Amino acid sequence: MRDPHDIIKKPIVTEASMDAMAEKKYTFVVDKKANKTEIKNAVEKIFGVKVESVNTMNMLGKTKRQGIHVGKRADWKKAIVTLTQESKTIEFFEGI
């Protein structure tokens, strides 16, 4: 089994993700090869909470230009984790 910290890379802190926290939904950047079960187990182990569901999205990197040179940002995977109603909140997000 992989280390949970290798699966969950970093949290996503935006206005939309902060509004979703009222409904106990948290957003993370995760490893591209991770599946929903691995993400669920990693969040439960790292933060000590109970996960109800996991929704994942493959995000395509933007194409960027500088003059005639064209480049592309890396593709990444986003996971929206919904906690159960009786679960505690994730303390990491409370100070933000």
What pLDDT, in 10s, does the model give residues 21-54? 999 999 999 999 999 999 999 999 999 999 999 9
State the pTM of this model: 0.89
Exposed/middle/buried for residue 62 (C-beta within 10 Å: 0-12, 13-18, 19+): exposed
Contact 55, 80 (CB under 8 A): yes
Exposed/middle/buried for residue 4 (C-beta within 10 Å: 0-12, 13-18, 19+): middle
Quick check: is 96 in a domain? no
Say if residue 55's pLDDT is above 90. yes
Give the pLDDT mean for 61-90. Answer: 95
Domain at 79, CATH number: 3.30.70.330
* Full residue range of the structural domain in which residue 25 is found: 4-84
pLDDT confidence tier of residue 84, bands split at 50, 70 and 90: very high
**CA-only gyration radius of the chain, Å:** 15
Quick check: is 9 in a domain? yes
Say if residue 1's pLDDT is above 90. no
Quick check: is 28 in a domain? yes
